[in-house]
Every structure is written in C-alpha cells, then in structure tokens.
A and B are shown apart, each in its own frame.
Chain A
C-alpha cells in the first residue's frame, strides 16, 4: 500500500553539516512548493532541535517520539497488542501529531529512535510515515546534522537527497561523506548539491565542489533570513528576498528532474 501510494510523491531529504542552514533551506523549499499552487506538502522535522517548526511557524504539541514513548509505556504496563493493533494505534496517533496549515502538514520526529527492544515499533512508525507521505505531493525532510540518519536508514525512501553546504571546507567534506555513504546504501534517486550563504559568483568559482554531483543552485547570504532566524520568525511569513528567490529558482529544475525519471523512490540496499 505504501509503495502504491508513494508512486507519485517526491520525497526531498535535506542533509548536511550542522550550521550550514539546512533548516532555512528546508523552510524555503516548503515556501516555494506551497507557492506552486494546490499541492499537498508534508514537512518532516527530523532534527531533534525541532528548528523547522519555528522556521515554518508551526506550534508542535506532540512529536513522533512522544507517540513512541506513550506506546512503550502502554506496552510496559502490560497491554498486549498484535501488529495490526499496533499499526492502527500508531497510525491514529501519528496522524494526530500532524500540525496543519493550508496545504502544509508538519510532523516533528523529536528525539531520534534508540536501538534496542522496540525495533518493531520503530519499523511500524517508518511504514506509517511512508504510508502517510504517499498521500502528499511533496515531502520535505529537514535532516539532523551529519551522516547519522543516512547510516541509520531513516531516509529509506527519499527520491532526492539535497546535500547542503556553506562555503566551508568542513561543510563540503560532510557533503562528500554523505554522498559516498548514500551511494552505497541507495539504489535509485538523485543527490543534489545546494550551496548556502555564498557571497556571490566569484566565491562559488573558488570552491572545490564534490565531483559527480549536480549543483542545484546556490543561495546568497540574506540579511532577511538572518534576522528572521534571530527573531525566531517564520520563513513562510518573511518578505521575499534574494535567498527565497534563489531557492524558488531551483524548484523548476528539481521538479522537471523528477518527471524525467518517473519519481522512483530511493530504496536502501
């Protein structure tokens, strides 16, 4: 069912080193996609810091971690559930954790899953998110910093990895690492490079970009974004500026690339 549903869904995972602006890029992508008309968009904040909620002006009352923990408490207090009951209960609770605004639904993951006795719950939650995601036109996942989520196979069915870096060598090295790891783990899909807070074309020319990656675009430093971040404001409500325009300009290429290759989701090997 999830596979059928996911057939036409573009799942964009935004990854990169901490501090390079993944959350702002994710929020700007959501804004650009919302501006594109009657689309259903699911934004998933997979960063435990839950920064995307603020960047989208969403008030989160319940995270996926809360859902998981309340079920674990229930099971530890003696409730016996078979798999179908667990699925329906978790599906109900996860849907209840979605925050909605117009064509946008938002889900915060909260604390990352812990390994151990609750693999079944974690697996079911992944299936449920996959199933819910399949009902949307676009899913934008703001990943946690670094490589861990790709390693843990959190992003199992993404169609597009958006690897974000600033101009720093450290940021670009993390992009290379994520690209290498994802190339080992991922069968289909596309990895894009997106550069953030670039001080003009001359700076871009000086950067040693990773080989073999499509540069989707670069986003200039933008005082509006910085001030919005400082104030804890929403990028959805921010007045247009060069950063938002640069992200919006990337979308046609991203979208047309999706239609060229039939939107096949990435599958982990």
Chain B
C-alpha cells in the first residue's frame, strides 16, 4: 500500500508539473509582446509564471499539504490571482503602477543596506553587503534611474486587496480564501490558537492552552485548492489575453488522477 502510494504521489507530481508547464507555455507562446511598452507583458508574464511556480513547488512537496504550511502558498497564490486579474482590466496603466511600486521598494531596501554599511563599515559581512548593493542597484537602474524612482509606502494599487477583489468581481475569493489564509501567513491567533497549542484538560488549570509542535495531517484538499487557483489564473488570462489552450486545466487533471480519486470507504 505504502509503496503504491509513493508511486502514485511520484506519478502525480511528475504529470502535474507537465500539465502546469505545458499550460503556461501553450498560452505564453500565443502572446506577441508589445516591445515599445515592454513592461506590460513583462509584468503579466512574470505574475503568470509566479503562479505556476508556486503551484509546482507545492506539488513537489507533499509534506507541505497541511494546515501549517499550505496556507502560506495558497494565500500567496490568491494574492497573485487578484493582482493579475486586476492588472488585466487595465494592463497599460496598472502594470506600470505594479512595477514602479516594486522598484520603489527595492530602492528603499537598498537605502537600508547602505545605512547598515555606513554604520558598521568594518562588519564581517561588509564586503558581501557592498556586492549585494552593487547588484541590486544595477537591477534597479537598468529599469529606472535610482534618482527617478519614487518610494510608495502605501498600497501598490492605491486600494486594499478587498477592493481589488471587488473590482474584478471576485469578492468571494477574498472573503472565503484570502481572509482565512491570512491568519496563518501573519501568525495570527485564529491560526496559532489552533495549530500551535493543545488544551490541558485539568479543570484546576482552567483548561489552559499549552504550546505544542503538532504534526498536522496531510490533506489533499490543500493541493486541490492550489490547482484550482492555477486553473482560474489560466482562465482569466485566456479571457483577457484572447489565448486558448488544449492542455487540461490543473484542477481537472488533479481530480482525474488516481491519487485524488474519491475514497469509497472500502479502502
């Protein structure tokens, strides 16, 4: 049984990666980049690739399909979906906003690094810090001169994620996926109060909670959600970019794979 299970997992992971990579390639190959405003396809393509990378990495690590870790992937994927879908509504204007915000954040980080170097020029890692600053500055300046880069410490889109989700007509994904998965991402009580404690049953201890490193069981539903988020990302991409693909959608593939076959209760 165990050997068979290991084989099933291996088979699923290999084929799932193929499905996602093929789905990505088949779509992106249909895009004719607009090189004058290159930032548009760079931004959209990078976000689509990010989504595919996240689901592939999650599939490759079945030990992460549990309540401790899977939400970190999933919240990130929902974030990527909302950002991409929102950008695709007005690609030219919004992809620029997205990139400029990122460049500003990079500039701010470089400032932090320079400050650290200035305060401790003889630190043991000073040389590597200098190298890091040089590389990061080169990346930044290759896109926009440092002096022209604005730093925005607010939200990149100028609105909250909930408002963005509402604008793309997917407020439900914010309410039922983004919000609950934000708890584990930010280590909030609604997560750690369940996953990182267990209850003492002694009444004289007021049934207090005691910290515990718990082993959360692997649950395939987490991987299904990841596949679902990848699928809706491909769908919104097709709809807005006018692409088509014959490659099976990741969630459809997942449900058809024997690893995820519905248990009839006899096994």
Q: Do A and B come from one complex?
A: no
* Interface positions of B (Cβ within 8 A of A): none
